Amino acid sequence: MANVNLAVIYYSSTGTNYQMAQWAEAAAAEAGAEVKLVKVPELAPEEAIASNPAWKAHAEATKDVPEATSEDVEWADAIIFSVPTRFGNLPAQMKQFIDSQGGLWASGKTVNKVVSGMTSAQNPHGGQEATMLNLYTSMMHWGMIIATPGYTDPVLFGAGGNPYGTSVSVDQDGNMIEEVEGAVKHQAKRTVDIATRIKSGS
């Protein structure tokens, strides 16, 4: 069985996608992958972060989480991205990280890696599916192999049934509405399984 390197790359302003990334990290490690959990660099100005107590608290709580680099992308056989929805698209922080990987892309170092995505928004129709599709559009340009959860396990329906990637709605107090931990863990294990098959040539 091939040893899979999995990078869980996330952006989170108040903690939702960090929690999802942690669940993915745990499940992938349980499935036998070597896992790195990394965050993309923050672009927002300090005054914007300081003006939002939840954002400021989360930034402080995760200050020691390593920042994602091109080396992490190159190292990985598979990547799980976890990002909040911003007007049906990726947040600028994640888009900047993806856009800065042109050197890897140009040298073919993103080709045939496995990728899967997760997201969150304030309501079920707040752009969650569009965000996943926008992420995957970039990943198609990278030549990556997209591993969506589809409807491969009943646990996905309790999480809202998003076939593009686990997504969660968050209320005004920052609480997750749907029960998505099981869906995240299933998606992570599925991503590792597909990457293992590809890496081992089966």
CATH number at residue 177: 3.40.50.360
The overall longest dimension of the chain from CA atoms, in Å, is 51
Give pLDDT, residue 173. Answer: 86
- For the chain, the average pLDDT equals 96
> Residue 100's domain spans which residues?
5-200
> Per the confidence metrics, is the pTM higher than 0.85?
yes
Give pLDDT, residue 181. Answer: 97
Lowest mean pLDDT among 68-72, 94-98, 157-161: 157-161
Structural domain total, the chain: 1
Task: Please check the confidence at residue 1 and state whether its pLDDT lies above 70.
Answer: no
Give pLDDT, residue 124. Answer: 86
pLDDT tens digit sequence for 38-91: 999 999 999 999 999 999 999 999 999 999 999 999 999 999 999 999 999 999
